[in-house]
Amino acid sequence: MSRIIQVVSTIFLVGTVMACAPKTAPDPRLSGPSVVDLNRMASAPGAPTIISRSPGDTAAATNLAARYLGGRLPEARGLRFLEISAIPYLRRSPEGAAFLNLKSPRALARGAPAEICPAAATSSAGAETAIGAMEDALNQCLGQLSARGANTSCGCRVMAVDNALVASRRDFVFAPGVSAFMIRSGTGEAERLIAESEPAPNGGESVVLRNASGAVAVLGLKGGDAELRLRSAPTVIWRGPREFFGYRRGRLSERMVLTSDDRKIIRLLIGVENRDAVAAK
């Protein structure tokens, strides 16, 4: 096993893949590819589904991932080295940006099945081995699921380690723009909007809410908290907790009840689908 750990810690860190992990997160507003975008991640068809359902089985999951990284992946038919710009979930999601901002060893885990398991976590900075990074990311992800009262069938999946994807490329989709509904107190009417997202410098997420006429509000998201500022009243801040449903095309689908200092209420639904409306009844 020590040989596997050594292989995982060093694989794909030389040659055409990547000499070291990027030091800054990608800027999705750039008109052309950034330095981060031109770095590469190893990917191959037939990636395994490696899931931990409790802290007690994270070691087994990380060992399976290590065997894949040190054995099957380097020899896989169809192995490719993808630029970050071709992996939307890493480039545009907050957790993807956090992963790219880490030096190796590093790991990323996400709730599984993603549709009903709203959690994602990266390993902490300073992990000594890839095995340790995976265990850390999985345990943090499982902790989020527990804190959010997720379905008991949920687990956490190893998504990426160092400079390799440990999941199918189709699992890395990300929709930067999704539908949203805003219900303001006093009206009861749901205003349909588009929510456009990008990683924020503070590690959270910045979401611009737009209608046909332009920006209506800016929403700041970090952890379980949300802050909203309406363009029509930018000095008023609406705050409240986030309630998560799961992932839809790489984005968290969620509901928020936000309150201003004068106790007015705005309700927001972001990225929701019919099944979420039914679940919320």
**pLDDT tens per residue across all 281 residues of the chain:** 433 334 444 444 333 333 333 444 444 444 445 555 567 999 999 999 999 999 999 999 999 999 999 999 999 989 999 999 899 999 989 899 999 999 999 999 999 999 999 999 999 999 999 999 999 999 999 999 999 999 999 999 999 999 999 999 999 999 888 999 999 887 778 899 999 987 777 777 889 999 999 999 999 998 889 999 999 998 999 999 999 999 998 998 999 999 999 999 999 999 876 555 444 44
Please report the pLDDT score of residue 36 as a whole number: 58
Q: Pick from 114, 164, 113: which is nearest to 134 by CA? A: 164
Report domain extents, the chain. Answer: 2-172, 177-280
Please report the pLDDT score of residue 272 as a whole number: 78
Please report the pLDDT score of residue 202 as a whole number: 72
Prediction pTM value: 0.80
CATH of 177-280, one of 2.60.40, 2.40.128, 1.10.260, 1.10.357: 2.40.128
Please report the pLDDT score of residue 34 as a whole number: 54
